[in-house]
Amino acid sequence: MATLLTGDLIRAARGLIGLSQSALAKKAGITQKALSEFELGRKPITAKASEKLRRVFEEEQVQFIAANIAESHIAGAGVRWKIAHPYTDIKVI
């Protein structure tokens, strides 16, 4: 299940990969103005723009972390680098 992209998550992912709004917009094939409006919450992200942004973030090895929902409180949504081999740090005793 994909995490719903929000302006905060887009901004965080963009910061993680070190791209300006204009550079990310160009890579994703959307306008910088639209990206700015998504990030500021002034405009809801469209499915098409979301897919384009996700493609760029996946190419950059960004992973979105879903929020934990407990007692109507959402916490923990974020971004991180994808783990290349998730089981390499497990030691069998």
Please write the tens of the pLDDT for every residue from 23-51.
999 999 999 999 999 999 999 999 999 99
| 50: region left, alpha or beta (phi > 0 left; psi from -120 to 50 alpha) | alpha
pLDDT at site 75: 67
Could you please report the per-residue DSSP string of 27-43? Answer: HHTS-HHHHHHHHHTSS
State the pLDDT confidence band at 91, using cuts at 50, 70 and 90. low
pLDDT at site 83: 76
Strand segments (E) across the chain: 62-65, 68-70, 73-75, 78-81
CA atoms of 29 and 79, how far apart (whole Å): 22
- What's the domain range around 69? 7-81
Q: Residue 29 corresponds to which tokens in the numbers above?
A: 């094939």
Q: Has residue 91 been placed in a domain?
A: no
Please name every residue paired with 1 in a beta bridge, in sequence order, or none if there are none: none
Q: Has residue 40 been placed in a domain?
A: yes
More confident residue, 30 or 86: 30
Total domains present in the chain: 1
More confident residue, 83 or 93: 83
